[in-house]
Amino acid sequence: MDSTYESGVFIAFLIGLVKVAISINHLFSQRARNLAKVGIYYRAIAGAYTSTTPFDPIRFCFYLGYMLVVTPIFSWLSVGASIWGLIAFHTRRSAVPEKVKEVQYKIASLDLTELEMKALQKQLIDDLQLPPSRFIDEVPRSELEQEFTMFGEAGLTVEFDRTLSEFRMRSHSPDYLFLFHSRYKYRFAGNRLEVRLLDDWIEEYGQPEWRVKDGVVLELECRERNTKIEFKIASVEEELRSYALSVLWHEWKGFELRFFAMSKCPDLFDRNEFRGAVRQELQNMRLGLVVLKKLAATHALDLVETNDGFEVQFPLSFPEADREKISALFSSEALGGLGVEYRLMTKFKKEEQLLLRLLEEELPVKA
């Protein structure tokens, strides 16, 4: 038994070592240098160019620990997962057109400028004759992937179909054992993006498990499946309530998807309207921070600046009985009636940078 386990550990370690070597090769490749010029970076844990965040040494160290220390502990389970992921990857691969291969070759072998990279992107769209009503693109990581973070930082792809006013979201676990699919109907109410869930399912080992189909929550299937799950993240009632709300029209709050959708609808939002909507969101967010600072000062609360944004904390001496009443002040209405939520303030810096990128601007350098 011990020798069998140890053999699995050794093989899993070797597989991890190979994956690390491949990741390092990608990180320092000509392809990575070229893609970085248009804001696309290699993400080791996902094994793909899906990130909009430059290389992070600390995160990569965690990746090394996971691949070379954690993964081998599971011995043959890790080996089996790796083999299945490889099989799943190859079975889903489709033939690549020669024109795409030519672009891939240039990106991988030539030192291109940012303008040349953008020209290649345009050339690819023209060569493939993609109709303007359909397009596939990747959205920066954000709240969109929060429900998938338990499986690691897998790439998220969003596909819009303007002829049907729908978009599809696809993601996967790093080992490709789980594939996540959702289909939404969308519409605009002014600058607001409203959506309702049409389909939602998870593929596990190639078998689909449906939660929502044709805008109908599959309650019986969800309850039956829940009885077979030993470790539950949420109760089946909470799951069903969440899906019941999702199939109704509701506003999508996330910046990335909303502005991404707006940018793909030039017939609805011309350049000035799009920039105006982004600028207004940026202004509201900055005004919301001013209001937050005043509220914190008025009620003697600690406003802590973090790497991501700002958090309000109660001093240890603050009366416990008053905390709930004060917490209610930090609602959308309290923050100047601007529709800016407190949770946005906790990641203020990240969202501010995103909005500035959409405006093709940068924060002024502090003296």
Residue ranges per structural domain of the chain: 2-93, 131-263, 271-358
Tokens at 104, concatenated: 């891939």
User: Average pLDDT, whole number, for the chain?
Assistant: 76
Question: Looking at residue 335, what is its pLDDT?
Answer: 66
Binned at pLDDT 50, 70 and 90, residue 367 comes out as very low
More confident residue, 9 or 144: 9
Question: Looking at residue 351, what is its pLDDT?
Answer: 85
Instruction: Among 168-177, 220-229, 296-305, 332-341, name the one with the lowest average pLDDT.
Output: 332-341
Q: Say if residue 164's pLDDT is above 50.
A: yes
Residues 6 or more apart in contact with residue 252 via CB below 8 angstroms:
186, 193, 194, 195, 258
Give the pLDDT mean for 154-165: 74
Question: Looking at residue 136, what is its pLDDT?
Answer: 36
Give the pLDDT mean for 84-111: 67
Question: Looking at residue 196, what is its pLDDT?
Answer: 96
CA 65, CA 76: separation in Å to the nearest integer? 18
Q: Say if residue 283's pLDDT is above 60.
A: yes
The Cα-based distances of 122 to 125, 128, 245, 332 in angstroms read 5, 10, 39, 41
Give the pLDDT mean for 347-360: 85
- Buried/exposed 260-277: b ≥16 CB within 10 Å, e otherwise: bbbebeeeebeeeebeeb
Question: Looking at residue 269, what is its pLDDT?
Answer: 85
For the stretch 18-62, pLDDT in tens is 888 888 887 788 888 877 776 677 777 666 665 556 667 777 787
Q: Say if residue 321's pLDDT is above 50.
A: yes
Question: Looking at residue 169, what is its pLDDT?
Answer: 85
